[in-house]
């Protein structure tokens, strides 16, 4: 937990005021047994009613003051704990978003969800109780022992023996429960994973009538979680009986020894009652401390899991040199030539002003050493020169492997010119998606180099690189809100006219226009209120609104019929002539009209060229085309 204390830095005042008021409340509570002793020894014994009433009023006053202090402490402790949880949650969310795909793949979605919700809630509850009870309970215990010594030294030694014994019990239980609480959170990860998979795949589960099997699996995971929770619960449940037994034995000892001293006139009856009250206060304080420790052990286990996430650093980092004005910027050359047909974007809408970015390095990495010595060569003409001299994307002997697996891509070398459409085709698992993910640097190459505009993608800042690339992934993902909100992800200031233009290219304008709300139509979570084909067309439109230089369509038309797919490809070819398009597809018909086609087979290059060239020279491509043609012919005859 100590590593997370920094999240209280903005709540130092609350973190101090809360415990202080709890100490004030404890001070008033420690005075009550003395007042009771006075009532018994002086008021009741002497029949002084006025004294009894006065002391009774004092006790009520102490109670009210204690209540006021307690409420104040609760307020400030809760405020500090909630602020702690909020800042920790925000920081973890930002950290998770900074992780690369590699770390996200390794950690897993379910455990990240558990850690940013359940684990942080546990840590927040731990902070709340610590601020309220961590100082109060020890203060009550120490104060009660001191007050006992002020009454009678010999009887007070019972308290001195009692406190270490109770502390030992609490320590042993804490040592046993902390590892098991960590297991509970890990088991919770598995239950959440099972729940998430069932909710995400509910249609598949019902289609295969797998409800009973999935229910059994979920019950099994829940049973393991319950068993672990019961085991730690049984150990934690020993806390109260053990402490109560020890304290009650101490009370019996005090009554036995104290009774003899009362008979001998060494102490009064009121003082004996005060000792019993102090013993009860110690019991209640230690029970509260035990509950605090139970909560704190859970919070500590959760804190360990939270720190494990923070300890994971992204393997893909922005270059340190990219923080200055000499860093390459993809945005500087975004459509500075003739805009695509119908486009309304101009130099005023560029994300980075070219005139302010006078120090632009040569995009060819091999020329940097020669050209970097003279600032005079770095002028506003550099981006335009780069556009004429370099390719849009180059793969130079690229090798790539997922963590712990063999190479998914081996020795991939090709280049794509600006405004060119490259089709990428291959069998399942051939590495098509892996290849296009390297362009946006979602993963880093193991060996070789990927260049955009002649510059290694590892030399770009993420925002500059990805700001000029529109990616439409295989899974069409929409976010809850309105259609307009979803369409503006790539360009927050996009007008309705620009949005509808993108929708028209993506073949989505008609069904959007048909909606009564138009762009104000609500989008359910994940876009569940749209069909698969509609979601795909909307995600394509979302990428086009940003008017990217490079458009990556990663099998993003798989849910479309052949006629709609053909219209979509014609519209993209017509209206995105300044864009470099990567068209990934399983369909030969979708890529055959591309300027060039890259054929992948088991992570390697099987062919590269036009449709006609590949039909003659590439057996893999020819087999794909002929097999799909046969199936379509069979379907038409059927």
- Looking at the DSSP assignment, which residues form a beta bridge with residue 554? 584
Asked which of 285, 311, 337 is the last residue of a domain, the reply is 311
pLDDT level of residue 314 (50, 70, 90 thresholds): confident
Beta-strand relationship, 596-601 and 580-584: unpaired
Q: Which domain CATH number covers 70? A: 1.20.1560.10
Handedness of CA 457, 462, 468, 469 (dihedral sign): positive
> Which residue shows structure tokens 């199936």?
631
CA Rg, the chain, in Å?
Answer: 36
Contacts of 590 (CB under 8 A, 6+ apart): 423, 557, 565, 569, 583
H-helix segments, 152-237: 153-200, 202-207, 211-237
**Are 544 and 551 a contacting pair, CB within 8 Å?**
yes
Token digits of residue 164: 């270490």
Question: What gap in Å lies between CA 222 and CA 542, rounded to an integer?
Answer: 41
Identify the CA nearest to 424 among candidates 582, 559, 299, 306: 582
Helix axes 120-133, 269-311, angle to 10 degrees: 150
| Residue 175, pLDDT score | 82
Question: How many domains is the chain partitioned into structurally?
Answer: 2
Q: What is the mean pLDDT of residues 408-434?
A: 90
Report how far residue 213's alpha carbon sits from residue 321's, in angstroms, rounded to the nearest whole number. Answer: 54
- Return the pLDDT at 477: 85
Q: Tell me what the mean pLDDT of segment 462-473 comes to.
A: 89
Read off the tokens for 240: 């109260």
Written as six digits, the tokens of 409 are 């891509």
Q: What is the pLDDT of residue 340?
A: 37
> Domain of 511?
471-547
Can you give the pLDDT at residue 638?
A: 39
Q: What's the mean pLDDT in 22-46?
A: 86
SS3 531: coil
Q: Is 555 helix (H, G, I), strand (E, B) or coil?
A: coil
**Adjacent-strand bridge partners of 597:** 423, 609
629: confidence class by pLDDT, cuts 50, 70, 90: low
Q: Is the pLDDT score of 342 beyond 70?
A: no
Does a structural domain hold residue 590? Answer: no
Q: Which two tokens mark 372?
A: 């970097």
Mean pLDDT of 584-601: 89
- Tokens representing 318 are 């922005």
Could you tell me if residue 77 is inside a domain?
yes
Q: Is residue 50 part of a domain?
A: yes
- 380 secondary structure, DSSP code: T
Q: Please say which residue of 291, 311, 331 terminates a domain.
A: 311
Lowest mean pLDDT among 24-33, 91-100, 182-191, 463-472: 182-191
Residue 243 lies in a domain: yes
Q: In CATH, what number is assigned to the domain containing residue 485? A: 3.40.50.300
pLDDT band at 451 (very low <50, low <70, confident <90, very high): very high
Taking the C-alpha atoms of residue 60 and residue 38, their distance in angstroms, rounded to an integer, is: 15
- Paired with 399 in beta bridges are 447
Helix ranges (H only) for 346-421 are: 368-371, 382-389
Query: Where residue 320 falls among pLDDT bands split at 50, 70, 90?
Result: low
Residue with tokens 């598949």, as numbered in its chain: 204
pLDDT at 292: 81
Token couple for 112: 């990240």
From first CA to last CA, the distance across the chain in angstroms is 68
Residue 184 has pLDDT above 80, yes or no: yes
Cα(620)–Cα(608) distance, integer angstroms: 11
Q: Which pLDDT score, from 0 to 100, does residue 150 have?
A: 83
12-38 vs 49-98: helix crossing angle, rounded to 10: 160
| pLDDT for residue 633 | 43
Domain termination residue (choose one: 258, 276, 311): 311
Q: Mean pLDDT throughout 146-173?
A: 83
How many angstroms separate the CA atoms of 163 and 141, rounded?
8
Let me know the angle formed at the C-alpha of 226 by 220 and 232, rounded to the nearest 5 degrees: 140
Query: Is residue 605 situated within a structural domain?
Result: no
Collapsed DSSP state (helix, strand, coil) of residue 117: helix
Rounded Cα distance, 208 and 185, in Å? 31
CB atoms within 10 A of CB 88: 23
Q: Is residue 280 part of a domain?
A: yes
For residue 24, what are its two tokens? 């004030």
Check residue 280 and give its pLDDT: 81
Angle of helix 12-38 versus helix 269-311 axis, rounded to 10: 160
529: left (phi over 0), alpha (psi -120 to 50) or beta: alpha
Element (H, E) at 343: none
Q: Is the pLDDT of residue 227 over 50?
A: yes
Q: Examine the pLDDT at 278 and tell me if it is beyond 50.
A: yes
Q: Higher-confidence residue: 360 or 481?
A: 481
Q: What pLDDT is attached to residue 78? A: 93
Q: How would you classify residue 441: left for phi > 0, otherwise alpha for psi between -120 and 50, otherwise beta?
A: left
* Residue 389: pLDDT over 60: no
> How does DSSP assign 249-260, residue by residue?
HHHHHHHHHHHH
Rounded distance, CA 291 to CA 170, Å? 10
- Tokens encoding 119: 């684990």
Q: What is the pLDDT of residue 630?
A: 54
CA distance 40 to 388: 101
Q: Is there a domain that residue 383 lies in? A: no
Q: Among the listed ranges 172-176, 398-402, 514-518, which one has the minimum average pLDDT value?
A: 172-176
pLDDT digits (tens, 9 = 90+) for 365-386: 333 333 333 333 333 333 333 4
Q: Which helix (H) or strand (E) holds 449?
A: strand 447-452
With 80 as the cut, is the pLDDT of residue 323 above it? no
CA dihedral 81, 84, 89, 91 (to 10 degrees): 180
SS3 state at 389: helix
Predicted confidence band of residue 144 (pLDDT cuts 50, 70, 90)? confident
The whole-angstrom distance between residue 299's C-alpha and the CA centroid of its chain comes to 18
Taking residues 340-369, report their average pLDDT.
Answer: 35
% of residues, the chain, pLDDT over 90? 25
Per-residue model confidence (pLDDT) at position 253? 85
Cα–Cα nearest to 550, from 523, 527, 526, 572: 572
Name the least confident of 12-16, 199-203, 424-428: 199-203
In a domain, 142, yes or no: yes
pLDDT tens-digit series, residues 64-95:
999 999 999 999 999 999 999 999 999 999 99
Find residue 406's DSSP bridge partners. none
Task: Give residue 81's pLDDT.
Answer: 93
Mean pLDDT of the chain: 81
Q: How far apart are CA 99 and CA 10, in angstroms?
A: 26
């Amino acid at each position: 937990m100590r590593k997370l204390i920094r999240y209280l830095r903005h709540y130092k005042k609350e973190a101090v005021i809360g415990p202080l008021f709890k100490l004030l409340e404890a001070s008033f509570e420690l005075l009550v047994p003395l007042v009771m002793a006075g009532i018994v020894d002086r008021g009741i014994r002497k029949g002084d009613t006025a004294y009894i009433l006065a002391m009774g009023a004092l006790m009520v006053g102490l109670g009210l003051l204690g209540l006021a202090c307690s409420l104040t402490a609760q307020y400030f402790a809760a405020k500090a704990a909630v602020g702690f949880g909020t800042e920790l949650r925000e920081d973890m969310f930002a950290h998770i978003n900074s992780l690369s795909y590699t770390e996200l793949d390794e950690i897993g979605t379910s455990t990240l969800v558990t850690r940013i919700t359940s684990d942080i809630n546990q840590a927040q509850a731990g902070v709340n109780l610590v601020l309220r009870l961590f100082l109060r309970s020890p203060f009550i215990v120490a104060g009660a022992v001191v007050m006992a010594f002020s009454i009678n030294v010999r009887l007070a030694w019972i308290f001195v023996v009692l406190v270490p014994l109770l502390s030992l019990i609490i320590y042993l239980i804490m040592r046993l429960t902390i590892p098991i609480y960590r297991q509970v959170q890990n088991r919770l990860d598995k239950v959440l994973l099972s729940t998430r998979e069932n909710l995400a795949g509910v249609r598949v589960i019902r289609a295969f009538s797998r409800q009973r099997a999935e229910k059994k699996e979920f019950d099994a995971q829940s049973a393991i979680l319950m068993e672990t929770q019961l085991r730690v619960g049984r150990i934690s449940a020993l806390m109260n009986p053990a402490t109560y037994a020890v304290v009650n034995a101490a009370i019996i000892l005090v009554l036995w020894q104290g009774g003899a001293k009362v008979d001998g006139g060494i102490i009064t009856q009121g003082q004996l009652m005060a000792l019993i009250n102090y013993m009860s206060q110690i019991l209640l304080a230690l029970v509260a401390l035990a509950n605090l420790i139970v909560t704190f052990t859970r919070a500590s286990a959760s804190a360990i899991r939270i720190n494990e996430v923070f300890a994971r650093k992204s393997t893909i980092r922005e270059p340190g040199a990219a923080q200055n004005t000499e860093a390459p910027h993809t945005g500087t050359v975004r459509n500075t030539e003739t805009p695509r047909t119908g486009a309304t974007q101009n130099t005023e809408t560029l994300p980075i002003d070219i005139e302010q970015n006078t120090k632009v390095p040569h995009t060819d990495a091999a020329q940097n050493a020669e050209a970097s010595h003279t600032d005079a060569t770095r002028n506003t003409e550099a981006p335009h020169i780069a556009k004429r001299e370099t390719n849009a994307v180059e793969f130079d002997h690229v090798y790539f492997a997922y963590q712990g697996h063999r190479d998914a891509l081996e020795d991939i070398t090709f280049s794509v010119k600006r405004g060119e459409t490259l089709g990428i085709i291959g069998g399942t698992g051939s590495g098509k998606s892996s290849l296009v993910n390297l362009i946006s640097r979602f993963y880093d190459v193991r060996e070789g180099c990927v260049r955009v505009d002649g510059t290694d993608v590892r030399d770009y800042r993420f925002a500059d690189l990805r700001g000029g690339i529109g990616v439409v992934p295989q899974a069409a993902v929409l976010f809850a809100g309105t259609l307009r909100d979803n369409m503006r992800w790539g360009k927050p200031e996009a007008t309705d006219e620009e949005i509808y233009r993108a929708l028209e290219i993506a073949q989505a304008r008609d069904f959007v226009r048909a909606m009564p709300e138009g762009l104000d139509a609500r989008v359910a979570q994940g876009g569940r209120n749209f069909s698969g084909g509609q979601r795909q067309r909307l995600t394509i439109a979302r990428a086009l609104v940003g008017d990217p230089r490079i458009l990556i369509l990663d099998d993003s038309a798989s849910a479309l019929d052949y006629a709609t797919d053909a219209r979509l490809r014609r519209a993209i070819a017509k209206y995105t002539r300044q864009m470099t398009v990567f068209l990934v597809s399983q369909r030969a018909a979708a890529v055959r009209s591309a300027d060039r086609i890259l054929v992948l087979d088991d992570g390697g290059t099987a062919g590269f060229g036009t449709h006609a060239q590949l039909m003659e020279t590439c057996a893999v491509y020819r087999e794909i085309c002929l097999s799909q043609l046969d199936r379509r012919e069979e379907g038409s005859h059927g």
